Amino acid sequence: MDHLIGREKIGAGRPGAGVARRPGPSAAIKVVPSAPAVLYVVGARPNFVKMAPVIQQMRARAEHLQHVVAHTGQHFDRGMSDVFFEDLGLPPPDYLLGVGPGSHGVQTARALERVEEVLLKVRPQLVIVPGDVNSTLAAALAAAKLEIPVAHLEAGLRSFDRTMPEELNRVIVDQLSRWCFIHSPEAAANLRREGIGSDRVFFVGNTMIDTLVQMRLRIRESTVHARLGVQLDRYLLVTLHRPALVDGSLFEPVIEALRRLAEELPVVFPVHPRARARLQDDVLSAPGLHIIDPVGYIDFLCLQARAAGVITDSGGVQEESTFLQVPCFTLRENTERPITVSQGTNRLLGLRPEALERIPSWLARPRMNLPAPDGWDGHAAARVAEELLAAVGARRPIEESAGAAYAAAR
């Protein structure tokens, strides 16, 4: 990360060290050296969206705490990372860990080591992690080994497919967490089956929807449609990133199916960096197929809100589409977010590119108009903050509760 030049390095001189500290606090962060701290760990685009309203609510309600943000850098491309901090109005992270790409083992190991360094330096009262990426697993594991309580946003989601790396992360992180914050009844049932007591499970709603609600005005003001030359409600939006589709033999059939769809309805495809490398020149110039670089959060939501339909393999996009009441077609065999299917907005197509050909006929059917799921109301983060701050206020100082673990780690 070239933009980290000049920042203090934690562990400098040791191979692989890459934890960078901002040289001074942002004006938005009131840092009191002796104040207890809360550490927020993010690493990928969905994390930023889910965590932003929680950070905002915690800061507004607890100025006496240090609110420290560590960005692992799991999404290392600017289009997949920095732009989301800008769009969400978040100050720069306090720590940039530079984890970057790699195999699941390498990426998780780097994040585990570097998050532990931050934990030993900050000594937080608690650690908050969102979602199911490798950074989430690493942060929860590092905190648990130091006996620091963990709060997991979006707990209890299950696809019941253990071949998905995210599924393993979800199961492990929930077992390590003191607070499992859920947004659906199915999540509560999943945690109950796995032996997690009700005293650790809290229904708060969907913090990702909080961010969407906060950004409504900016979404309406986006000029992305004019820039792309597409008509409102007359295009399909596509987002694909999972290895089964982007890295395997299914990629070419999917692209061919999108080319055929584009003959009937324009297709807008913000391409993940990994996918762009596999696209041929004839695809990039196909009529009606708009292959574009990754866009910021605001522009993406604007595209999503005014699409005729969305084709995705992303969990978060399934939920956003449900809230926006835009038909969603998911190229997966399963989903950890079944509430999107039961709401009638999401259709699972399996890993079958040929199923995309039926989308125009599905779009011709009348849309369902259902209320948003319970707790998807823009106030989930406030409920998270209320629960955590009540608990932190009653906790002993971290030096007492985890002093032995810190000493052993040093």
* pLDDT band per the 50, 70, 90 thresholds, residue 6: very low
pLDDT digits (tens, 9 = 90+) for 43-87: 988 899 999 999 999 999 999 999 999 999 876 666 555 677 788
Q: How confident is the model at residue 145 (pLDDT cuts 50, 70, 90)?
A: very high
Helices (H), 88-229: 104-122, 134-145, 165-176, 185-193, 207-214, 216-221, 224-228
| φ/ψ bin of 25: left (φ > 0), alpha (ψ from -120 to 50), beta (otherwise) | beta
- Mean per-residue pLDDT for 136-158? 98
Span 281-287, average pLDDT: 80
Sheet holding 309-312, edge to edge: 289-292, 267-270, 236-239, 309-312, 328-330, 346-348
Region 327-338: what's the mean pLDDT?
97
**Cα 46 to Cα 157: distance, rounded to the nearest angstrom:** 15
Report the DSSP pairing between strands 37-42 and 126-130: parallel
143: nearest Cα among 33, 10, 17, 38 = 38
> CA-based angle 273:40:105, to the nearest 5?
50
Contact 94, 55 (CB under 8 A): no
Half-sphere exposure (Cβ direction) of 131: Cα atoms closer than 13 Å: 24
pLDDT tens for 210-241 read 999 999 999 999 999 999 999 999 999 999 98
With helix as H, strand as E and coil as C, how does 257-285 read?
HHHHHHCCCCEEEECCHHHHCCCCHHHHC
Burial class (CB in 10 A: 0-12, 13-18, 19+), 16: exposed
Is 216-363 a domain of CATH 3.40.50.2000?
yes
Instruction: State the sign of the Cα–Cα–Cα–Cα dihedral 85, 234, 239, 377.
Output: positive
| Residues classed as catalytic | 241
According to DSSP, the residues that pair with 182 across neighbouring strands are: 203
Distance CA 178, CA 143 (A): 11
- Per-residue model confidence (pLDDT) at position 5: 22
Average pLDDT, the chain: 86
**Per residue in 68-96, is it b (16+ CB within 10 Å) or e — as a string?**
bbbbbbbbbeebbbbbbbebbebeebbbb
Contacts of 394 (CB under 8 A, 6+ apart): none
Using a pLDDT cut of 70, give the percent of the chain over it: 85
Question: CA torsion angle for 285, 291, 293, 299 (degrees, to 10)?
Answer: 140
Provide the pLDDT for residue 80: 54
Query: Residues 133, 134, 140, CA angle at the centre, nearest 5°?
Result: 95
Q: Shortest CA distance to 169 belongs to which of 206, 134, 130?
A: 134
By the 10 Å C-beta count (0-12 exposed, 13-18 middle, 19+ buried), 193 is classed as: exposed
What was the pLDDT predicted at 29?
Answer: 34
pLDDT of residue 1: 31
pLDDT at residue 202 tops 50: yes
pLDDT at position 15 is 34
In whole angstroms, what is the distance from residue 24 CA to residue 6 CA? 12
CATH 3.40.50.2000 intervals, the chain: 2-206+376-409, 216-363
Q: For tokens 């393999």, what's the residue?
A: 313
The SS3 assignment for 307 reads coil
Average pLDDT over residues 9-29: 39
Show Cβ contacts of residue 30 under 8 Å, excluding neighbours closer than 6 positions.
63, 66
Arithmetic mean of pLDDT, 367-377:
90
CATH number of 2-206+376-409: 3.40.50.2000
Q: Is 309's pLDDT higher than 70? A: yes
**pLDDT recorded at residue 195:** 98
Rounded average pLDDT over 251-263:
94
Q: Whole-model pTM?
A: 0.86
